[in-house]
Structure 1
Amino acid sequence: MNTTTRISTAERLGRGWRAYARGERRLSSWLASKGVPVVGAALAVWVVKLAVLGVLLYTMSWLVLLLVFAVVAAWVARNAGLADDPPEPEWRNGSAGFGLYTYDGFRIDPHVEDDE
C-alpha cells in the first residue's frame, strides 16, 4: 500500500495562483524600488494583464472562426451529393438491342452485331 499523499488538482491550482500573486507583488515592489510610483506600478501590471487578455481573445476569435469555417465546409461537403454513386447498370432493351445499359443509355456489355 502506498502511503504517500497525493496533491489534488485544486490544491495544485491554488499553489500556482499564490505563486503568481507573489510574483506580481514582487514585480510591483521592484518597480516601486526603481522610482516608479506605486499607482504607476499597479497600472503597469494591469496594462500587461489587459494586453495578454487582448492577445488571448484575438487568438481565440481566429481559432473560433477557423472552427466555424471547418464545420461549415464539412456540412457543405456532406450535403453536396459528392458521395452519391450513379445508378447501377441494368439489363434492358435499348437502341443497340437487349443488353446491359448505363443510366445514360450506353450499352456496356460486349455484343456481336451478327447475333441480332
Structure 2
Amino acid sequence: MATSQPNASLSRRAGRATARAWRWLLFRNKQFTERLIAAGAPAGLAKGVSACVLLLVVGVLLYAAFWFAAAVLILALGFGFAANAADALEEEDEPPQWRNGLLGFGLYDKDGVRIDPYDPNELE
C-alpha cells in the first residue's frame, strides 16, 4: 500500500521546477530550430545555431549561479567572522591580581599562574 505525502519537500519541489524549466527550454529550442528551417535555413545550420544558443543560455545560467554561490559564501564567511569577533569582545580578560597562591603572595593571572618575577630561594 502506497502512502501519499501531501506536502512535497523543498528539494523535490525545486527538482520539479528545474525539470519544468529544462523541458520549457528544450521546447523553445525546438521551436527556434523549426522556425529557422521554415525560413529557409539548411537543417544542419539551424540545428548548429540552435545548439550554440542553448549552450550560451546554459553557460549564462551557470555563470550567474557561480557568482550567486560566491556571494552567499562571502556573506556566510563575513557573518562567521563577525560572530567570532563579537564573542572575542564579550570575553574580557580579568586583570592580574595580587593575592596568595601556590607560590606565595604575588601577582597571579586568572588561571592561577604567578606572573611577577620572584626567586623561591630569596629569603625576606
TM-score (norm 1): 0.50
Q: Higher Cα Rg: structure 1 or 2? A: 1
